[in-house]
Structures are given as C-alpha cells and as structure tokens.
Amino acid sequence: MGVAVGIAFALTLLVSELLGREVEIGRWGSGVSGVLQGALALTPSKVLVAVLAARAGLVMGVIYVLLFILVSTSFMVFVGMSLKRVDKVLGGHDIPRIMNIVIALVALVVLVQQLIGLVFA
C-alpha cells in the first residue's frame, strides 16, 4: 500500500513541476497528504528503528522512536531552510523546481524497484 501511495505522490510532484502548477492533494492541502504518504511509506530507516525499538524494551524503544521523529523532523526543516538559502545564493535560479523533479524521478525509480521486488518475491 505504501509503495502505491509513494508512486502516486511522486508522479503528482513530477507532473506538477513539469507543468509549472502547484497541486494540492486532499481536503486540507498537502500537509495532511504529506503526513499520510510519509506514514505509509516503508523505508529502511523506519525498519531499523522498529527493530532497535523492539529489541530495546518498552522505555528505550519509546525513546528510540521519539528520537527518530525529532531527528527526521529537524532534518526536514533544515532542508527546507537550506533550499531557500541556496536559491538566494545562486541568484534566483529555480533550484527548488529542479530539486523537486530530481526527487520525484529518484523516488519513482526506487519505488518501482520496490514494487517489482514485492511482485516477484
């Protein structure tokens, strides 16, 4: 399920950037849909945190999960702020658009590989 949702979001991002139109998905905009996509996507880091948390016991497991959430959120904020600064330094080139296209293409490649692995496993 998470792979299909990820592919749908990657395609939406790619098409919206290529057409130059911002697409809001969902009743409340992209914030809710972004959380949904992130929650359903199975990533190696989530698997690693789940394994470590399960082996560490209840208290340490909760601490691991909370630290993962804190670091992930901080990194997303850092990347968002960095993109704005890079855009200013490079003189207004449309770096966020280029990055979105690259991210969408890489996500599609990775997710299609995961889908093929699930189908032929």
Q: What pLDDT, on a 0 to 100 scale, did the predictor assign at position 79?
A: 81
Q: Comparing C-alpha atoms, which of 45, 24, 33 is closest to residue 6?
A: 33
Per-residue pLDDT of 30-50, as tens digits, reads 556 666 666 666 666 777 788
Distances (CA, A) of 41 to 3, 113, 120: 6, 14, 19
Q: What pLDDT, on a 0 to 100 scale, did the predictor assign at position 39?
A: 66
Q: What is the 3-state secondary structure (H, E, C) of 43-85?
A: CHHHHHHHHHHHHHCHHHHHHHHHHHHHHHHHHHHHHHHHHHH
Q: What pLDDT, on a 0 to 100 scale, did the predictor assign at position 63?
A: 93
Q: What pLDDT, on a 0 to 100 scale, did the predictor assign at position 35?
A: 64
Q: How many whole angstroms separate alpha carbon 63 and alpha carbon 114?
A: 29
For residues 5 and 41, the answer to whether their CB atoms sit within 8 Å is yes
- pTM for the whole structure: 0.50
- Flag whether pLDDT at 110 surpasses 70: yes
Q: What pLDDT, on a 0 to 100 scale, did the predictor assign at position 67?
A: 92
Q: What pLDDT, on a 0 to 100 scale, did the predictor assign at position 11?
A: 87
Give the containing element (helix H, strand E) for 22. Answer: none
Per-residue pLDDT of 46-90, as tens digits, reads 777 888 888 888 999 899 989 988 988 888 888 878 877 776 777
For residues 86 and 95, the answer to whether their CB atoms sit within 8 Å is yes
